[in-house]
Amino acid sequence: MSGPLDGVLVVDLSRVVAGPHATQTLGDLGARVIKVEQPGGDETRGWGPPFADGVSTYYLSCNRNKESITLDLKDPAGLDVLLRLVRRADVLVENFRTGVMDRLGLGFDRLLEANPRLVVMSVTGFGHDGPEGGRPGYDAIVQGEAGLMSVTGPPGQPSKVGMTVADMLAAQNVVAGVLAALYERTKTGRGQVVRTSLLASVVGAHGFQGTRWTVAGEVPESLGNDHPSLAPYGTFRCADGLLQIGVANQSIWRRFAPVVGLDPDDPRFAELPDRTRRRPELTAEIEKTLAAEPRAVWLERFAGAGVPAGSIRSLDEVYDWEQTRSQGLVVTVDHPELGEIELPGPALRFDGHRFEHTPPPLLGEHDASVRAWLDEQDEQDAHDETED
């Protein structure tokens, strides 16, 4: 598949979500991704329900644009095939627990000895070292340990985010690390080992919630859908349901207030700190007005006034929304067992590139073709050596 990473070969040893989502993104960008699965395959192949004719929709979510080859890495023959791939690869991504790669005979020193230009991307739950570096880390566990749950949900009810956000954040860091290392290789000619973790990815995304503690000494708490520093900013009830409103500065406030029958210079709410301190009172005033009309009316009025506002959509509504589809966020692939299916699409678009996507592979679907390709490459190398 053509794209900015056309010609880049990625060997994907990862399973579950963070690594596979990252390598899927690299595949979206044009890299050739060979997913190496041990016998039985990526465990998400068995995660469900829901299943579609026996195929896990969980697995389908993060494995498009890949080839699948099955190797028993505890068998010398399987390890030999992997090392043949490594010698030709640009990138290897793995998310085993710390020490597993060494026990398999795939320590990073050996990988870089086999291919000095290789970029090795290692993803762990809590980091590869430190007092708890060896801990296994699934998304929900890390959401709790990394503080995300403490600032999510209704007050006093720590809640996890409804998507695997720790995994997804880690995946984006994997992609960024790989691209940076590939760029540096253009100057040095050498690869390197790059590391990230689910813990690092969540803590790295704390943003203003982190500095509330590190700078102001304030421990953030969950506020439901309200914003700790802005008001009105969150979920509000109107005649037929809920809508989101985001009044993030004074200019928006002065446009917003008249729409809901408030005086923008009312001393109770005139400045942002006043509105934040009096949030319950302000919310009551706003919702008293919103109760008179349905959501569609208010969204139209807010749009006319240049006030950020929106619906709270269910996922079926999101995927049916024309704006979603106009952004290439739904892609269609022809799956070998399910036929034509739709998948969530990539977040990046490049002018001048029109991507074609391949379906998530069946387990070992490309065993023969990948081995045949390796044989051809070896034969070509032998021929080139003879010519020299």
Catalytically active residues, by annotation? 167
Q: Are 149 and 209 in contact (CB under 8 A)?
A: no
DSSP state of 150: G
Relative to beta strand 91-94, strand 9-12 is: parallel
Q: Give the E-state strand segments of 112-240 in sequence order.
A: 119-124, 192-197, 233-238
- How many other CB atoms are found less than 10 A from the CB of residue 292? 11
Cα gap 215→161, rounded to integer Å: 26
The dihedral built from the CA positions of residue 73, 75, 76 and 82, taken in this order, carries a sign that is negative
Peptide bond into 232 cis (omega under 30): yes
Sign of the torsion formed by the C-alpha atoms of 236, 240, 241 and 245: negative
Q: Residue 320 carries which side chain, given as an amino acid letter? A: D
- CA–CA gap between residue 365 and residue 358 (Å, rounded): 13
Mapped onto helix, strand or coil, the DSSP state of residue 235 is strand
How many CA within 13 A on the CB side of residue 270? 4
DSSP letter for 19, please: H
Q: How many CB atoms lie within 10 A of CB 273?
A: 10
The encoded tokens of residue 330 equal 């739904």
Q: Tell me the C-alpha to C-alpha distance, in Å, between residue 57 and each of 44, 46, 131, 138, 266.
A: 9, 10, 36, 19, 53
CA distance 50 to 280: 41
**12 CB-contact burial (10 Å; exposed 0-12 / middle 13-18 / buried 19+):** buried
